[in-house]
Amino acid sequence: MTRDPNDRDDQTATNRRGLSRRGFLTTMGTGVLAGTAASQLSAEAGEVPEVLAADAFAKVALSINGRTHEVLVEPRWSLAYVLRDVLELTGTKVGCDRGECGACTVLMDGVPRYACLTLAVEAEGTAIVTVEGLMDGEDLGPVQQAFVEKDAYQCGYCTSGQIMAAEGLLRTTGDPDVERVRHGMSGNLCRCGAYPHIVQAVQRAAEMKRAGGAS
Ligand code: FES
Ligand code: FES
């Protein structure tokens, strides 16, 4: 079971007990990578790297859908975990949790990113947009509307990620042809095979945005 970052009793109890074996093992993978990268950067800059205890919490300020959220996170926590389980922004889905399906796609500084492969600490300082952030008040944004209009889903599990990938594509390409849409959406899998309708929806969303319905 994963600890609640804002539960101080849980944090204090864990610190008293020391790091569990499981916590040590699960933290090591990310910790080693982050430590290596930090060491390289610091070595280049001629600085002594700061080393966080394996079970330490870091306070990060995440800009999500135009609002800043200050949260306590473990260095190993993914952005997808923090969005869903800490901030309860459950529009972002987790499918594979290892960078294969695209269900967790969000925008970071306008670019589609897999939230399951992004550490929450890494996302600080960027503008994050989730599927909730594409709403226009109570109304759907153009990409969301186009997916409904073109019936571009069956079970709907991949749809949040598809919509965010489409939004990212349309922010750089206003009038994509079919090949460009396929290429732009190629990081997002749909087990229901709704691809033909997804392509239609992305082109319809492009039309709507050109007509002034941009989010
Ligand atoms: S859940 Fe992130 S890519 Fe599959
Ligand atoms: S609509 Fe079911 S996985 Fe895409």
Which residues does residue 108 pair with via DSSP β-bridges, in sequence order? 111, 128
E strand spans, the chain: 58-64, 67-73, 105-108, 111-114, 127-129
How many CB atoms within 10 Å of residue 157? 16
CB 123 within 8 A of CB 69: no
List CB contacts of 79: < 8 A, sequence separation 6 or more: 106, 113, 115, 116, 118, 119, 120, 122, 123, 128
Domains of the chain plus CATH, in order, are 8-129 (3.10.20.30), 134-213 (1.10.150.120)
> pLDDT (tens digit, 9 = 90+) per residue, 62-74?
999 999 999 999 9
| pLDDT at residue 4, rounded to an integer | 52
Residue with tokens 């069956």: 154
* Atom number, ligand 2, closest to the C-alpha of residue 153: 1
pLDDT value for 56 = 87
Find the 152 Cα to ligand 2 centroid distance in Å: 9
3-state secondary structure of 186: coil
Of all protein residues, the one whose alpha carbon is nearest to atom 3 of ligand 1 is: 99
pLDDT (0 to 100) of residue 40? 52
Helix then strand count (H, E) for the chain reads 8, 5
Ligand 1 site, CB within 6 A: 94-97, 99-104, 114, 116
pTM (2 d.p.): 0.78
Ligand 1 atom at shortest distance from the alpha carbon of 95: 1
pLDDT class of 55 with cuts at 50, 70, 90: confident
